[in-house]
Copies of this chain bind each other. A is one copy, B any other.
Amino acid sequence: MNNYTDMLRDHNLKVTPQRLAIAQALDVRGHMSLDELYHVMLEKFSSISLATIYKNIHIMLENTFIQEVKLPQAKSVYELTKASHAHLSCEKCGAVEDIMLDMDVLVKQAMQKSSYKIQEASLVLGGICKNCQ
């Protein structure tokens, strides 16, 4: 009865070896594209179907077990759902990092300027990571 098992059950997802491996991979690596996830999964399950990856990403998104992060100049990456946060994206090596930023002031400003009821903020900051500088 490990950690990922409980997490999957909490999101009404049946616990399978494939899903446990997806959860672990995303937990360890943070952010992964669909392709990356598929190739990592192939190492553990040499005959896993690509359709299984697609279907699990879908249902995991529906059940908010994971989140999709759309990056400006690259393929989407996926991550385990956690507290809302922004992203740093290195335009040289493609690395993606989390960063906690207080967006309350900005969101409040936006609600005053516009007539929108804002529910969520998606911020991706593009730049060059320490390693690539």
Contact = CB atoms under 8 A, between A and B. Distances in A.
Interface of A: 68, 70-72, 86, 88, 90-91, 97, 99-101, 103, 106-107, 109-110, 113-130, 133
Contact of A126 (B86, B118, B124, B128): B118
A101 B70 CA distance: 21
A72 B72 CA distance: 11
A123 B123 contact: yes
Contacts of A130: 115-116
Contact of A110 (B72, B86, B117, B119): B86
Given A99-B110, A110-B99, A120 B127 contact: yes
A109 to B, nearest CB: 6
A125 B121 contact: yes
A115 B123 CA distance: 17
A30 to B, nearest CB: 14
B101 A88 contact: no
Contacts of A120: 72, 125-127
Most buried by B among A116, A118, A133: A116
A33 to B, nearest CB: 14
